[in-house]
Amino acid sequence: MTIYFYDISEKPYGCFSNFSPHGFELDGLWWPTSEHYFQAQKFAGTSHVEEIRCCKTPAEAASMGRERTRPLRRDWEDIKEDVMGRGLLCKFQTHADLREILLRTGDELIVEDAPQDYYWGCGKDRSGKNRLGEILMEIRAILRES
């Protein structure tokens, strides 16, 4: 059985979303969501990191991170998946309840059912790369071994 997730209100898998309100400490800072962490890392070493970290909602953090009025770090395309994995691993290590939900998925395929996202999600026609789902499955394997 494939496990689809997208909206944070969907139980039990909405917590897999980067918008879920499950904060964590990483790099000496508290991140309200994994979306805040991911978007801020696009601008590492600048004041934009703190601006994004302090956004009131993950939607606001995402919007700021997607604006191209800020200088995107040069290596972003090379490191974005590692950044996503690092943030998500910390989120699931921090929250035992989320870790259990992820581990209970067994060996099932996990898919971010994001209709507009063909990179991180599966897209409207489910032909997308589903990199977020794949990274979650990698984290599941790491947590299983720890």
Give how many domains the chain has, as a whole number.
Answer: 1
Q: What is the pTM of this model?
A: 0.96
| Residue 80: exposure state from Cβ atoms within 10 A (0-12, 13-18, ≥19) | middle
CA R_g for the chain: 15
What is residue 26's three-state secondary structure? Answer: strand
Cα separation, 13 vs 9, in Å, equals 9
Is residue 139 very low, low, confident or very high in pLDDT (cuts 50, 70, 90)? very high
Name the band, by pLDDT with cuts 50, 70 and 90, for residue 68.
confident
Q: How far is residue 89's CA from residue 102's CA, in Å, rounded to a whole number?
A: 11
Among candidate residues 30, 145, 40, the one with its CA nearest the CA of residue 99: 145
Write the CATH number for 121.
Answer: 1.10.357.40
> For the ranges 31-35, 70-74, 91-95, 136-140, which has the lowest average pLDDT?
70-74
The pLDDT, as a whole number, for residue 70 is 87
Residues 4-9: what's their mean pLDDT?
98
pLDDT by residue (tens digit) across 42-66?
A: 999 999 999 999 999 999 999 999 9
Domain range holding 93? 3-145
Per residue in 69-112, pLDDT tens? 888 999 999 999 999 999 999 999 999 999 999 999 999 999 99
pLDDT for res 130: 99
